[in-house]
């Protein structure tokens, strides 16, 4: 198994891409730590993990709150003695025209993505540095590379995550820690189901976005999960500070 004996922590792990990644990693032997603001959803994912024969910790966690993040990381270290992989998947969408953006909206969106990433990474890094091994993978977005009306705060937050991850890669590479990103396009997840539940809506969205891969459809959660877990797999020691785009060719940097 690829991740036998490894421990994976996922923020925003109670549903969508976080859940899909947790299940995929557990099937390959990883034990899972789920931090999600919705404690019920986190607990449900933990139950699924345990049914696969792996161990799981789940806590309702506001990842913009450093004390709450530190609490779940401490619990994971007490139980497993380490966290090998951290995937930062927490965040919220938020959308409005630029002139309708407020300072409160910007603060909320930046906190849910950037502050969450910073707090979770700060919490796991000391143990990773001590063991001289670790993998941090952040879910950024096509929105951080390609401007789209109505996404000012979201695009800014995702671009900032990319910038922060490059600094982290440079600072912690000497400890055997890599830091990388996966930038999805539109994904068929619970968050987008209402907007793109019908196949024709997916087709229209992909055409508008400039997808080059056909047939036109949105990415699946498993496709994003597979990209995230690549960075946690074997033979990736020299891959750091990078972004993998999973968006049907709508962004080709």
**Catalytic choice (154, 175, 196, 230):** 154
pLDDT at 188 over 90: no
Residue 44, pLDDT score: 97
**Helix 66-80 / helix 116-131 crossing angle, nearest 10 deg:** 30
Residue 20, pLDDT score: 96
Global pTM?
Answer: 0.95
Residue 95, pLDDT score: 78
Q: What is the mean pLDDT of the chain?
A: 93
Residue 21's nearest CA partner among 232, 245, 236, 229 is 229
List Cβ neighbours of 131 (8 Å cut-off, separation of 6 or more).
82
196 noted as active-site residue: no
**Helix 39-51 / helix 16-27 crossing angle, nearest 10 deg:** 20
DSSP helix/strand/coil, 144 = helix
Q: Which domains does the chain have, with CATH numbers?
A: 7-187+220-246 (3.40.50.720)
DSSP letters spanning 150-173 = TBHHHHHHHHHHHHHHHHHHHHHG
Structure confidence by residue, pLDDT tens digits, 41-97: 999 999 999 999 999 999 999 999 999 999 999 999 999 999 999 999 999 877 788
Residue 36, pLDDT score: 97
The pLDDT-based confidence of 244 (bands split at 50, 70, 90) is: very high
Task: Check residues 146 and 62 and name the one with the higher pLDDT.
Answer: 62
The pLDDT-based confidence of 119 (bands split at 50, 70, 90) is: very high
pLDDT at 196 over 90: no
């Amino acid at each position: 198994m690829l991740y036998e004996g490894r421990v994976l922590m996922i923020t925003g792990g109670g549903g969508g891409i976080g859940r899909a990644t947790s299940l995929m990693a557990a099937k390959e032997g990883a034990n899972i730590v789920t931090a999600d603001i919705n404690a019920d959803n986190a607990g449900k994912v933990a139950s699924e993990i345990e049914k696969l024969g792996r161990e799981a910790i789940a806590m309702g966690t506001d990842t913009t709150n450093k004390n709450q993040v530190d609490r779940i990381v401490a619990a994971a270290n007490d139980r497993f003695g380490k966290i090998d992989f951290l995937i930062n998947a927490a965040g919220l969408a938020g959308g409005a025209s630029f002139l309708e953006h407020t300072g409160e909206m910007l603060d909320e969106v930046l906190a849910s993505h950037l502050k969450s990433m910073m707090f979770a990474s700060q919490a796991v890094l000391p143990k990773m540095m001590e063991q001289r091994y670790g993998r941090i993978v952040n879910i950024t977005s096509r929105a951080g590379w390609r401007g789209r009306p109505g996404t000012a705060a979201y695009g800014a937050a995702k671009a900032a995550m990319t910038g922060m991850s490059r600094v982290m890669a440079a600072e912690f590479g000497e400890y055997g820690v890599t830091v990388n990103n996966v930038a999805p396009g539109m994904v068929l997840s619970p968050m987008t189901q209402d907007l793109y539940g019908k196949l024709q809506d997916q087709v229209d969205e992909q055409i508008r976005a400039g997808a080059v891969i056909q047939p036109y459809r949105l990415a699946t959660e498993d496709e994003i999960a597979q990209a995230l877990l690549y960075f946690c797999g074997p033979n990736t020691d020299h891959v750091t500070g990078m972004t993998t785009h999973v968006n049907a060719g709508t962004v080709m940097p």
